[in-house]
Structure 1
Amino acid sequence: MQWATLAAAALFAQNVAAQGSMLRFACSQLVVERTDPLVNPGMKYTPHLHQIVGGNSFNVTMDPNNDPAKLSTCTSCSFVQDKSNYWTAVMFFKAKNGTYTRVPQVGNGGPQGKLINKGGLDVYYIPSGKTTAFKKGFRMLAGSATNTDPKKVSSGNICHRCWTSPNENTFVGAQPCSGSDTVEIPADTKCKMIRQTIIFPACWDGTNLDSPNHQTHVAYGQGAGASGGGACPSTHPVKLPQVMYELMWNVTSFADKSIWPSDGSNPFVYSMNIGGAAAHGDYVFGWEGDSLQKAMDNNCNLNTACPKAGLTTQTDAQYSACTKAQQAPEEVNGWLKEMPLGEMSIKA
């Protein structure tokens, strides 16, 4: 089993090496709140809860004419030059007594080394061939927060993995969204953690920085998984860096099945109160100047400083200290009587 794990880790590393270097770095939580300037601009107490990472200029509206790189005074991501914002839904555990609590998170390990997060997620920028970095004002969405049908989700782009190792540094499985990975959230007491992967489209129409549904200006290429995106369709000919989010949800404290719902339903749900088919990620570009393009052109790698591109890094203490007060204040920690949906949440 150990040899199989090592072989899978080596294969993923070889695949990455074959397509060139990639950025892989940690982002701690900036804030957890019900705002969504992409889908619900200007609204406080949006339909569901998000965890947001990145530049501290994040706000309820995020006017596309404003540059997060110039407005942010800090970033919760390890690269100083990255003031982008990245956000996802929050995973909750639903107990037999009807109360909910957020599933805690840990940093990610794997063949490229350990990353340290205070909540949040890991971000990848995976180039493939001639890669054009995002432009100021660019934004996009992967997945659908209302989808309940796993058949409508490509398991090569959005997936979950039952992480059977108690240590995130012990790599489990092969490259993301392959093998036994599932669209639905695993519900198995053998899972010590659940790794969530969200892979964004890597092909752009070359004109529009956004679209009404935040999706049609981009498209997936022919490649599946963390491959850099594959060949692009003629409608979206410009190859972008493939953005990938990875999140490690630590479910070890929920292994006692006697506290799971008695109706047999999955106790792990996202903050829309539905399952893995509704997993989604939001992205608002905010790298300083042409630093991301230089990073792609100069094969900057992983989470290390890259002088050729002018990239510098922070310590985990520094990026984790970049936080923001809730703009839609409510209690999101501990046990809650109900999911934060519609009305403000209430402590149990």
Structure 2
Amino acid sequence: MKSFSVSVVAALVATVQAGLRFGCSTLTIQRLDPVVQPGQNPSTHLHHVVGGNQFNATMTGDVGARGTCTTCQMSQDFSNYWTAVMYFKHPTNGSYHRVPVINNAALAAGTTGGITIYYTQYDLSKDNLKQQPITVFRPGFRMTVGNPATNATEGAKHIGLSYNCLQTLLNRGPEMRDFPTKPCPAGIFVTHHFPACWDGVNLDSPDHQSHMFNTIDLDGFTNAPPCPSSHPVRVPQVTYETVWDTTQFSKLWKSGDPNPFVWSFEGDSGFGTHADYMFGWKGDALALAMNKSECFYDGCGSITKQDMSVANKCTVKDMVGENIDGWVSHLPGFP
């Protein structure tokens, strides 16, 4: 298992050829899923969503071209990124309370909750003899990673899906495949690392994953082998990082008790963690950035960064209308 601190990550990114790392404030928290359950309102379980204001129950075509604002620091990124929502289950009465999201370390000032997004060429390192050119996604592209139905045996093999029990926001502690087994001093850090090899044809697939292929064996931020002939197109490596503020529940987690945190799909095992992605960059903005070299964190000379006070004004309406806050007797969507 790996243990990371910000200084270690900084050392890793020193070898990168080109990539982006930026924050997106929270756009909405609703029971909608336009990838897995398009058109269904509400969807089965609750999601935490960041990105462009075209997010809705049914998303087709070029959402980037239609977007008018985004919660992301990169002002030309109208993509949407979402994950399931973490809840705390009270050990005594069985009620639930939504766990808030807090900022990851080193994000732009003013970022509100949200998710840290990576687009990298070569998983933070490059082997010139093996790597392939980067082709960016096309309008309409979407994909998922992980599966809420995954059990512990399958979960142990999950690629790039991990947890860290934060000691501080700068000290992540060891990397784990399941929920932490004791209270975390600074919250729970969750990583979703998507595949980076595409079949080059399909913008989606029935399971939202078969059009993609992952050449990484286990850990996300490692040098990726070449793409196979079945999925020959190397696309940007997309990764999410989310920090869940579990600290306010630490006093309710008694020593020796099992993990009290669950995902919004009634997942009391961490192996079911999953995430969705829908491409929505304006024009060729992402392609220009991915074709740059020796840049990271910034806009790679071609993307305009917006102040997060502007990003935070971007919203979408509540399209479901249900109580997701405070103590509730059941998870949204479940009896």
Contact 1:132 1:293 in 2 (8 A): yes
Task: Report which stretch shifted further, 140-149 or 334-343.
Answer: 334-343
Contact 2:184 2:247 in 1 (8 A): no
- Per the TM alignment, residue 190 of structure 1 is displaced from its structure 2 partner at its CA by 4.2
Per the TM alignment, residue 229 of structure 1 is displaced from its structure 2 partner at its CA by 3.4
Change (3 A) 1:278 1:252: same
Contact 2:141 2:279 in 1 (8 A): yes
1:263, CA displacement in angstroms? 9.8
Instruction: Show structure 1 runs of 5+ residues with no match.
Output: 174-179, 344-348
Query: Which residue, 122, 126, 132 being the options, matches 2:116?
Result: 122
How many angstroms apart in 1 are the aligned matches of 2:281 and 2:224? 21
Aligned counterpart for 1:267 among listed residues 247, 256, 260: 260
Q: Distance in 1 between matches of 2:256 and 2:324?
A: 25
**2:212 aligned residue (211, 218, 221):** 218
Other-structure match for 1:326: 318
Q: Structure 2: any 5+ residue segments left out of the alignment?
A: 123-130
How far off its partner does 1:261 sit? 8.1
The aligned counterpart of 1:312 is 304
Partner of residue 333 from structure 2, selected from 338, 341, 347: 341
Aligned match of 1:157 in 156, 160, 175? 160
- CA shift, 1:155, in A, is 4.8
Q: Which amino acid aligns with 1:164?
A: Q
Match of 1:107 among 63, 80, 103: 103
- CA distance in structure 2 between the aligned counterparts of 1:276 and 1:78, rounded to whole angstroms: 29
8 Å contact kept, 2:184–2:246: no
Q: Equivalent residue of 1:255, what SS?
A: helix
Q: Secondary structure of the residue that 1:18 maps to in structure 2?
A: coil
Q: What is the CA–CA distance in structure 1 between the aligned matches of 2:207 and 2:74, rounded to whole Å?
A: 29
Matched to 2:196, the amino acid is A
Q: Provide the residue aligned with 1:43 in structure 2.
A: 40
CA distance in 2, matches of 1:246, 1:150: 24
- Count the aligned residue pairs: 321
Q: Could you tell me whether the CA contact under 8 Å between 2:22 and 2:107 is conserved in 1?
A: no
In the TM superposition, what are the counterparts of 1:142-221 in structure 2 within 5 Å? Answer: 142-165=145-168, 168=169, 170-173=170-173, 180-221=174-215
Residue 300 (structure 1) shift: 7.5
Does structure 2 retain, via aligned residues, the 8 Å contact 1:105–1:250? yes
Structure 1 residue 102: deviation in Å?
A: 1.1
Q: Which moved more, 1:196-205 or 1:123-132?
A: 123-132
The amino acid of 1:157's aligned partner reads G
Amino acid across the alignment from 2:326: G
**For residue 125 of structure 2, what is the aligned residue in structure 1?**
none
Q: Sort the Cα spacing of 1:300 and 1:25 in 2 relative to 1 into closer, same or farther, 3 A.
A: farther
Deviation at residue 19 of structure 1 after TM alignment: 3.1
Q: Give the drift of 1:11.
A: 4.2
Distance 1:131 1:101, change over 3 A: same
Aligned equivalents of 1:245, 1:228: Cα separation in 2: 18
Aligned-partner Cα distance in 1 for 2:13–2:51: 25
Amino acid at match of 2:172: V
